[in-house]
Amino acid sequence: MPKRFRLTRRFPAAMTEDGYRRLRKFAAEAGLDEGEALSFLFENFDSVTDTDTLTHRLRIFNSDLDTRKR
C-alpha cells in the first residue's frame, strides 16, 4: 500500500540565494513544488548523494560559511 503524502512538519529554514535557485530549478524539472522537492531529497538522501563528494563539498561549504554570513 503506498504511503500517503502528508506534510506533517513545517520549519523555518534559511537558504542561500544560490541554493534556493537550484531547489526551484530541480522542483520545476521534477514537476514538484519546493516543499515536495525537499521532502523527496531528504527521504532519498542516501541514494541521491555521493558520499565522497558530499564530504568534500561539506568541508568547502563550512570553510566559506563565516565569510558568506558577512
* pTM confidence score: 0.74
pLDDT at 2: 61
1, pLDDT greater than 60: no
The cell for 7 is 506534510
What integer is the mean pLDDT of 44-64?
A: 91
Contact 11, 39 (CB under 8 A): no
For 8-48, write each residue's pLDDT tens digit: 777 788 899 999 999 999 999 999 999 899 999 999 999 99
Q: Give the CA count within 13 Å in the CB-facing half-sphere of 39.
A: 13
Nearest Cα residue to 34 out of 10, 58, 60, 62: 10
